[in-house]
Amino acid sequence: MTASAEKFTRQALLDVQTLTPSLFTLRAGRDTGFRFRAGQFARLGVTKSDGGVVWRAYSMVSSPYDEFLEFFSIVVPGGEFTSELSRLREGDSLLVDRQAFGYLTLDRFVGGRDLWLLATGTGVAPFLSILQDFEAWERFERIILVYSARQAVELAYRELIAGLGERDYLAEYAHKLRFIPTVTREQCPGMLSGRITHLIESGELERVAGVALTPEHSRVMICGNPQMIDDTRAVLKQRNLHLSLSRRPGQVAVENYW
């Protein structure tokens, strides 16, 4: 099979950054034919020592207009894929499926005034792509990014988030963003403490955001571990915020590819 006929491209790693012993970022080249919408994910492949290839889904951190693809990963102890991925270094090859996937995109929603982005861990990746795109800023009056981790050191990309308003194409919209970091296993100045579900139930999240979660105005995206997604959906359902389906538009969209 020729390279052009293969379902993937082979991209060189441009940069690898270790953030903590279990978190790292990868930046790879981007094939000129690879297209995606902010919020979508790619299927990545790594070649094992025995010649076999392992594939997993990873959301793009980078925007649809960047000339590179960036990904955010956790090392899963004993994980077949991440153990191989974490060993890659600049210049090594990463396989990237030619097609992007996923429905954690803004076209899932009809109407809405406030966009809530609720993330745990590496689940922040698709939201960083969305925040580097123009559509969300133009469409919504307020954007609330809630980013939760066990410890503050695990909250990655804070410099990128802080710098969004300094970008020329977003400068006039910078006032729309409210960034709310939260940690679950320590107390940190300037951060909330507790799980996202508990912060919603107590009303603390809305108090800090300065805006209510309502079916009329709120559109909510959730990405993180499966239990967090299930629990958050259940809490939101009690507020009459329901999953948005093609046959029944709603207020909630999720991504779960664990």
pTM, rounded to two decimals: 0.95
Q: If you write DSSP's letter for every residue of the chain in order, what string do you get?
A: --GGGSSEEEEEEEEEEEEETTEEEEEEE--TT----TT-EEEEEEE-TTS-EEEEEEE--S-TT-SEEEEEEE--TT-HHHHHHTT--TT-EEEEESS-B---SGGG--S-SEEEEEEEGGGGHHHHHHHTSSHHHHH-SEEEEEEEESSGGG---HHHHHTGGGSTTTGGGGGGEEEEEEESSS--TTSEES-HHHHHHHSHHHHHHTS---TTTEEEEEES-HHHHHHHHHHHHTTT--B--SSS--SEEEE---
Q: What is the pLDDT of residues 155-206, one digit of tens each?
A: 999 999 999 999 999 999 999 999 999 999 999 999 999 999 999 999 999 9
> According to the CATH classification, is domain 3-97 in 3.10.450.240?
no
> According to the CATH classification, is domain 106-255 in 3.40.50.12160?
no
pLDDT category of residue 209 using cuts at 50, 70 and 90: very high
Q: What is the pLDDT of residues 95-124, one digit of tens each?
A: 999 999 999 999 999 999 999 999 999 999
Domain ranges in the chain are: 3-97, 106-255
Establish whether domains 3-97 and 106-255 are of one fold. Answer: no
